[in-house]
Structure formats: C-alpha cells, structure tokens
C-alpha cells in the first residue's frame, strides 16, 4: 500500500554553479560514496542534481520534510548491480521511517542536459 509519494525536479545548470562555487554544500549534503560516484562522471552536475532531487523527493514522500534531526547524509543513493538507483537510509531518518511502519522505498530518476527529476514512492 502506498504511504507517501514525492517528486522533485532540479535545474542542472543551477547545480553546476553551486558545486563549482561552494564545496561545503557538496560535503554537507552528499556522502563520500556519492561524491566519488558523481565526480567520476563526465557531467558530474547531472549526477549530483539527480541525487539531490532523490533526497528531496524522499523527504516529501516521508511526509515530514527534512526536520526533527534528520540530515542529508542519512539519505543516499546507491546503484545496484544492474545500475538501478536505490535510496538507502540510516540514523534518525531510518528511525522515523520505521516508527511510521513503512516497508519500502521505490525510486526513479531521470535527467536531460537541463533537468534532473526524481520520483519516490514509500510503501
């Protein structure tokens, strides 16, 4: 049963300016693994934007937004063996997820040269 949905879209040009100008933003929002993954790509801004959109969409689907001690680095995106992106959670965010008795997180991301979008369904 669907318990929450969230969607977010991000301008890749905006993300490109942010990551070029503010290294603190990248370190505050993304895990070391996400940083390594994104920095290894030719157009790293696309990948940062998709992961940021996924985090935003997740917090929207959670129904609480980003608050109550949750942090950006408690939510991250990993790709499975076939390349499918998956949201992983830990810490206070995972506790909130379990408290609501949610079972699973479904993620879809896509991007063009200009935009990245993420859609999350929590069951």
DSSP helix/strand/coil, 22: coil
CA distances from 44 to 5, 24, 37, 66, 80 (A): 27, 16, 9, 25, 19
Examine the residue annotation and report whether 98 is marked as an active-site residue of this protein.
Answer: no
- The residue annotated as part of the active site, out of 47, 55, 60, 96, is 60
- The residue annotated as part of the active site, out of 47, 55, 96, 111, is 111
CA dist 34 and 78 (Å) reads 8
Examine the residue annotation and report whether 47 is marked as an active-site residue of this protein.
Answer: no
Q: Which residues are catalytic?
A: 60, 111
């Amino acid at each position: 049963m669907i318990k929450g949905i969230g969607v977010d879209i991000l301008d890749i040009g905006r993300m490109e300016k942010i990551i070029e100008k503010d290294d603190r933003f990248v370190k505050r929002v993304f895990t070391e693994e996400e940083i390594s993954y994104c920095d290894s790509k030719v157009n790293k801004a696309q990948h940062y934007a998709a992961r940021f959109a996924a985090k935003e969409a997740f917090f929207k689907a959670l129904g609480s937004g980003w608050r109550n001690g949750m942090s950006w680095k408690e939510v991250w995106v990993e790709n499975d063996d076939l390349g499918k992106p998956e949201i992983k959670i830990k810490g206070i965010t995972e506790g909130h997820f379990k408290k609501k008795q949610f079972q699973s997180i479904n993620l879809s991301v896509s991007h063009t040269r200009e935009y990245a979008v993420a859609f999350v369904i929590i069951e």
